């Protein structure tokens, strides 16, 4: 019932349409099911009310239309099977709408329309009545909410440690598009070395050690999601990067085949394509106009 309401909701008129891309871009799932005669005027129907409730409950991700620091959040929401609403932020005007009226330094003085970014930065995720910023706090909240953070303090601590190490490696990928072209090739070599010498051996050893399908506690956790994200992103640049790590190869296949993750890896999901020139230009135009 919930799924149907969600699909129906996306063909109803949006009360406050976000500026920018046409609705068709974010209502592509409307093709899945198309009950007729729902775009009515007058008092909101039960379905319209339900749709509105669902849309306001969905986490909203504020970020440019690209991977960047938000991609890990998309991964973990997808793995947890959570539908998110993505107001696209590829125009400076939209970004201002989120960050508040100019000047940026007075953002804390603004009441209603601005004032959404605690440290004037994105990612920002509206979720459960909060406007969360800072990637790690967002990841932790979603992980804990959806049982992806272990069953006790010790498991949680292991997951934390593994995630932190992996994020150090992922950081190299996130920053890579912004390096000077001459430095980019050298950095790919650096990433490969770090992955092969410092990080992959750790996780290979863990998987070999307990022989389980997941890194911690024999169940899917944030650590698995972030590691898979990082492995796949590295493979885009260095296709044979896992060649010396048989356990990680098997692990990558297994985790990728988890239904929620499998769906995220298919075309048409909320997973973003690799960063390109347009992404770099967009980021500069939004954040350093």
| Contacting residues toward other proteins, per CB under 8 A | 105, 108, 118-120, 128, 130, 132-137, 140-141, 144-145, 153-154, 156-157, 160-161, 164-165, 168, 198-199, 202
The DSSP string of 37-100 is S----SSPPHHHHHHHHHHHHS-EEEB-SS-TTTHHHHHHHHHTT---B--B--SHHHHHHHH-
- Between 125 and 261, whose beta carbon lies closer to other proteins? 125
Smallest gap from Cβ 137 to other proteins, in A, equals 3
Return the SS3 of 193.
helix
- Between 10 and 160, whose beta carbon lies closer to other proteins? 160
R_g over Cα of the chain = 20
Smallest gap from Cβ 120 to other proteins, in A, equals 6
- Between 6 and 61, whose beta carbon lies closer to other proteins? 61
Cis ω for the linkage preceding 103 (within 30 of 0): yes
Return the SS3 of 210.
helix
Return the SS3 of 254.
helix
Smallest gap from Cβ 25 to other proteins, in A, equals 30
Smallest gap from Cβ 136 to other proteins, in A, equals 6
Smallest gap from Cβ 158 to other proteins, in A, equals 8
Which strands, in side-by-side order, build the sheet including 60-62? Answer: 60-62, 124-127, 130-133
- Between 108 and 178, whose beta carbon lies closer to other proteins? 108
- Between 183 and 276, whose beta carbon lies closer to other proteins? 183
Distance separating alpha carbons of residues 236 and 233, to the nearest angstrom: 5
- Between 9 and 150, whose beta carbon lies closer to other proteins? 150
Task: For residue 173, give the nearest of 238, 88, 252 by alpha carbon.
Answer: 238
Cis ω for the linkage preceding 123 (within 30 of 0): yes
What is the number of residues in the chain?
289
- Between 65 and 135, whose beta carbon lies closer to other proteins? 135
Smallest gap from Cβ 245 to other proteins, in A, equals 16
Smallest gap from Cβ 231 to other proteins, in A, equals 16
Smallest gap from Cβ 148 to other proteins, in A, equals 13
Query: Looking at the chain, which runs of residues are DSSP E strands?
Result: 60-62, 124-127, 130-133
Rounded to the nearest 10°, the torsion over CA 252, 253, 258, 264 is 80
């Amino acid at each position: 019932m919930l799924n149907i309401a969600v699909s129906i909701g996306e063909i109803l008129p949006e009360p406050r349409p976000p500026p920018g891309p046409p609705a068709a871009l974010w209502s592509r799932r409307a093709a899945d099911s198309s009950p007729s005669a729902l775009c009515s005027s007058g008092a909101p129907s039960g379905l319209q009310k339900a749709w509105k409730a669902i849309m306001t409950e969905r986490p909203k991700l504020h970020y440019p239309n690209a991977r960047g620091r938000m991609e890990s959040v998309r991964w973990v929401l997808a793995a947890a099977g959570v539908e998110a609403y993505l107001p696209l932020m590829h125009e400076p005007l939209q970004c201002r709408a989120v960050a508040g009226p100019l000047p940026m330094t007075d953002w804390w003085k603004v009441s209603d329309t601005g004032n959404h970014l605690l440290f004037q930065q994105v990612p920002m995720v509206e979720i459960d009545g909060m406007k969360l910023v800072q990637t790690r706090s967002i990841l932790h909240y979603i992980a804990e909410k959806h049982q992806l953070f272990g069953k006790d303090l010790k498991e949680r601590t292991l997951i934390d440690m593994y995630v932190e190490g992996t994020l150090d490696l992922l950081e190299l990928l996130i920053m890579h598009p912004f390096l000077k072209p001459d430095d980019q090739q050298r950095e790919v070599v650096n990433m490969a070395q770090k992955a092969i010498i410092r990080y992959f051996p750790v996780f290979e050893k863990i998987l070999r050690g307990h022989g389980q399908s997941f890194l911690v506690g024999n169940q899917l956790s944030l650590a698995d999601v972030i590691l898979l994200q990082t492995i796949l992103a590295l493979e885009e640049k260095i296709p044979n990067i896992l060649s010396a790590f048989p356990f990680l190869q098997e692990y990558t296949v297994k985790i990728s085949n988890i239904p929620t993750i499998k769906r995220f890896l298919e075309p048409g999901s909320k997973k973003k394509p690799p960063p390109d020139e347009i992404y770099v230009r967009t980021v500069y135009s939004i954040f350093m106009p």
